[in-house]
Copies of this chain bind each other. A is one copy, B any other.
Amino acid sequence: MASLQNLYSSRSLQPGYGSNYNVDYVIHYQIPQTDRHEAEAAYVRLIEALVNVGLTTEVRPGDADSLLIFVKIASDKVLSDQIYRSRLGDWLHGARTVGPDQELSATLKSEPVTEAERLRLVYLLMTKPRNEGGAGITPGTGAWKHVAGLFPLHNHDFNRKLIQKMSTKYTIDDDDLDGIRNTFGENVAFYFAFTQSYFTFLVFPAAAGFSAWLLLGQFSWFYALASCLWSVVFFEFWKKKEIDLAVQWGVRGVSKIQTPRPQFEFEHEAEDPVTGEPVKVYSPFKRLQTQLLQIPFAVACILVLGTLIVTCNSLEIFINEVYNGPFKQYLAFLPTVILVVMTPTFSTVLLKFAEHLTQMENYETIDAHHAALVQKQFVLNFLTSYMALFFTAFIYIPFGNLLLPYLDFWRAAAQKIAPSDKFSTQEFVINPARISNQMFYFTVTAQVVNFLTETVLPYVKRKVLDEAKEVQAKISSSSAGPKVPDVPEEADFLARVRSEVLLPTYNVTDDYREMVIQFGYLSLFSVAWPLTACCFLINNWVELRSDAVKIAISSRRPIPWRADSIGPWLDAIGFLSWLGTLTSAGIVSLCSGKNPDGPAGARSDINAVAVLLSVFLAEHFYLVVQMAVRFVMTKLESAGLQKERKERYLMKKRLLEENLHQAVDEKAANPGIAKSDKITREALEDEARRASVRGSGGSDEMFWQRQRGIDDTVQIGRSLISKVGSS
C-alpha cells in the first residue's frame, strides 16, 4: 500500500491508481486449503448469481490463496432500471416529494446518478434476497462463506484532490461535502458535515474560555453560562442544519425506509395495516422484557467500572497526597497503569455483553439494532470517560472525608507490605485543582495518545503486514512454482487492488463516538479548565484531516449508505448538553471563590443550599434558553424545508394542471356578476317549477317564493326601512 507521500504529494497519481477500469465492486474470494471441489462449486454459483441479476464479472488471482472477482453492472439499461425502481420506492415511502418521471432519460437528466448512488444500487443488487430481485449474497455466511469481502474501489483521483484541498484550507465547504457525499455516500458526508459544524462552533467557547482563563481563572460563572448558551445554540443549529442537508442531498426521510435485519426471528406473520403487505411480527412486550435487562446491565457496569475507578483514584490520592515514603515518584504511576490496563479489559467484556443483549432484543431492522447497540455503547463510554471526573467533582471535593476509610485501608496495606517506620505519611488535604489536572490529562494527553493509536499505529501495522505478506508471498511462490503472471498493462492496477483488499473496513460509528465523547468533556467539565475548547479546536482541525486520510488511504472504500441525520448521536449530544448545565453549575458553586491551594478546612463550609439552588437555577436557565432558541429557529425558515415545501406545492400544482385540466377550466370561471345573476334567476325559476310539481316540503319553498328575485327583496326592504325612518 502506498504511503501518503508516495501517493498524493507527487504531481500525478502512481501507476495503477489513476483508473478503476469501471470496476464497481471487488469480491475477495478466499480459497480454502481443503475441500477444493466445494469451493469451485460455490465459485460457479457465485458467478452465476451475479450474472443472473445483470452484472458482468472478470476474475483475477488475488494473493496466494484467494481470487479477486471484479464486478460491474452489465449495461446502462440495467442501471437505469435499478435507478428507476429505487427512486420510485423512495417516493412511495415518502422519502421523495416528486416521483420519478415516466421518461427515464428526463429523470436522469434532472437528477444525474452519482458514484455513490450507483455503488449503493449495485451493492443492493448483489446482497438483496433473491425474492426481492437481488443475488442474495451474504458475505461470510452460509453458502457464501468463502466470500471474505465485498467492497468498491477507491476513486484515488477524487481522494487525492480532496486531501490536497482540505490540507490547504481552514474549513471544509459545501462543495467538499457534496464531493464526499457523491463519493462516499450521505452516511460519511454527515459525519464530516457534523464535525465541520462542531469545529466552526468551537471558536465561540474557545474564545470565551480563553478570556475567562486570562481574566477570571477557572470555575467562573461567566464561562459556565457561556458554555451552556453555546451548547444549546449549537444543538439547535445542528438539528436545523441536518434537515437542510438531508433535503439538499435528497435523502430526507430515507431513515423511514428500513432494511430488514436478516437475523430477526418472528413469531407470526400479519398484514401491514397501511400497505396491506404481510409483515413479520415479534411481540413488543417480549422485547420490552429483554430490554429491562438493560437495567441490571447498567448497574453492573456502574459497579464494575465504579469500583475500579474509586479504587484507583483513592490509591492515587493516597500515594500523591498522603504517602510520603520511598519510591513515591514511581508508585505515582501505579494507579494510572492499573486504569489504563483494566478499563479496556473490563469494557471489552461489557461491550461483548452489550452486543449479546442487543441481539437478544431481536430488532426487526438494522437501524433499530444499530441504535440500540449505540445506546449501550454510549452508556459504557460515558462511564469509562467521565466517571473519574464525576468522582473528583462530586465525591472527592465535597465529601473528601468519606475517602478516609479507603486511605486508611491503603495505609494499612502499605504498612503490611513495608514496615511502618520505613515511610512517613502526611495529613490528607482536599485539593480542588485535582479536577483541573484531570481535565488537562483528558483534553491534551489523551487526545494525543488517541491520534497516535488511530492514525500512526494502523500505518505502522500496515507497513509491517505488507512486509510480512511480501516475505510470505516470496516463500510460497518459491515453494509452489511460478504463479499465473499478471498481464503487464494490468499489473499495477492488480497490485493496488491486492493492497486495498488488506485494508480494514471503515466504521463511521467510531468517529462519531469520539466526537460526541469530546463534546461531553467540553460540556460537562470544561469549567474546571476553560482552555478545553482551545485544545479541541486544534485537535479537531487535525482530526478532520486525519479522518479523511483514514478513509481515503487506510481503509477500504466504504459502502456508500444513505442517511438523513447523525442518528442516535443526536440524542446523546442533547443529553450531554443538558447534563453539562447541571455539572457546570455544580462544579462552579462547589469550587469557585475557594483558594484552590487553601487549607482543607475550607471545603467543609460548602453551602448545600447554594449548590442545590445554583444547579436548580442553571437547569431552568437551560430550559428557558432552549425554548427561546427553538422559537427563533422556527422563525428562520430553513432553506431546505422551504425547498421541500416548494417542490411539493409545484408537484401538486402540476398534477392538478395535468389531470384536472378540464374540471378546473370549467370551474375556474369565477362566478361573476352577470353569470351568478343568471344562476340565481335560473335557480329560482328551477325551484319554482319544482315547488309546483311536488307537494311536500312546500312550506320551505313557499318561504323563499315570497320575494321573486332580487328586485322584490330590494323593494320590500326599502319600504320597510322607510317605514322605520318615518315613524
Contact = CB atoms under 8 A, between A and B. Distances in A.
Contacts of A484: 720, 723
A269 interface: no
- Chain copies in complex: 2
A69 interface: yes
A274 B642 contact: yes
B683 A74 contact: yes
Contacts of A57: 707, 710, 713
A40 B680 contact: no
A414 to B, nearest CB: 38
Interface string A6-30: 0000000000000101110000000
B102 A273 contact: no
Give the interface size class of chain A. Answer: 35 or more
A504 interface: no
Interface stretch (A168-176, A293-301, A531-539, A606-614): A606-614
A700 B53 contact: no
Nearest to A706: B58
A122 interface: no
Contacts of A649: 92, 274-275
Contact of A714 (B47, B274, B284, B612): B47
Interface string A67-97: 1011010110110010011001001101000
A403 interface: no
Given A52-B673, A710-B47, A720 B67 contact: yes
A21 B699 CA distance: 7
Contacts of A85: 667
Contact of A54 (B61, B679, B699): B679
Contacts of A47: 710, 713-714, 717
B102 A660 contact: yes
Nearest to A483: B723
Contacts of A333: none
A94 B647 CA distance: 13
A308 interface: no
A88 to B, nearest CB: 8
A586 B74 CA distance: 73
Contact of A40 (B72, B275, B718): B718
A702 interface: yes
Interface stretch (A440-448, A542-550, A651-659): A651-659
Nearest to A476: B727
A616 to B, nearest CB: 5
Contacts of A55: 680
Nearest to A22: B700
Contact of A51 (B72, B88, B677): B677
B612 A81 contact: no
Interface in A229-252: none
A12 B183 CA distance: 78
A77 to B, nearest CB: 7
A615 B43 CA distance: 68
Nearest to A29: B717
B707 A40 contact: no
Interface string A126-155: 000000010000000000000000000000
Given A36-B722, A52-B677, A69 B671 contact: no
Contacts of A469: none
A31 B677 contact: no
A684 interface: yes
Contacts of A72: 704
B52 A676 contact: yes
A396 B401 CA distance: 39
Contacts of A635: 284
Interface string A32-69: 01001001100110011001111111110100110101
A22 B702 CA distance: 11
B642 A487 contact: no
A642 B133 contact: no
Contacts of A706: 58, 487
Contacts of A77: 679, 683
A703 interface: yes
Contact of A667 (B51, B81, B683): B81
A283 to B, nearest CB: 12
A58 B707 contact: yes
A489 interface: yes
A670 interface: yes
B676 A78 contact: yes
B273 A642 contact: yes
Given A74-B679, A102-B659, A679-B77, A646 B713 contact: no
Interface string A465-495: 0000000000010011101100101100100
A99 interface: yes
A47 B710 CA distance: 7
A716 interface: yes
A349 interface: no
A645 interface: yes
A40 B726 CA distance: 13
Interface string A253-292: 0000000000000000000011100000000100000000
A663 interface: yes
A480 B723 CA distance: 9
A686 interface: yes
A721 interface: yes
Closest 6 CB pairs of A and B: A36-B725, A75-B683, A480-B727, A21-B703, A59-B717, A612-B612
27 contacts: A22-B700, A23-B703, A36-B722, A40-B717, A43-B718, A44-B717, A51-B710, A58-B706, A59-B713, A61-B720, A69-B717, A75-B682, A75-B683, A77-B683, A81-B671, A92-B649, A92-B653, A92-B656, A99-B655, A102-B663, A274-B642, A274-B646, A275-B649, A479-B727, A480-B727, A483-B723, A493-B703
Given A21-B704, A58-B704, 9 more contacts: A33-B725, A43-B717, A47-B710, A52-B673, A54-B679, A67-B720, A274-B645, A274-B646, A612-B613
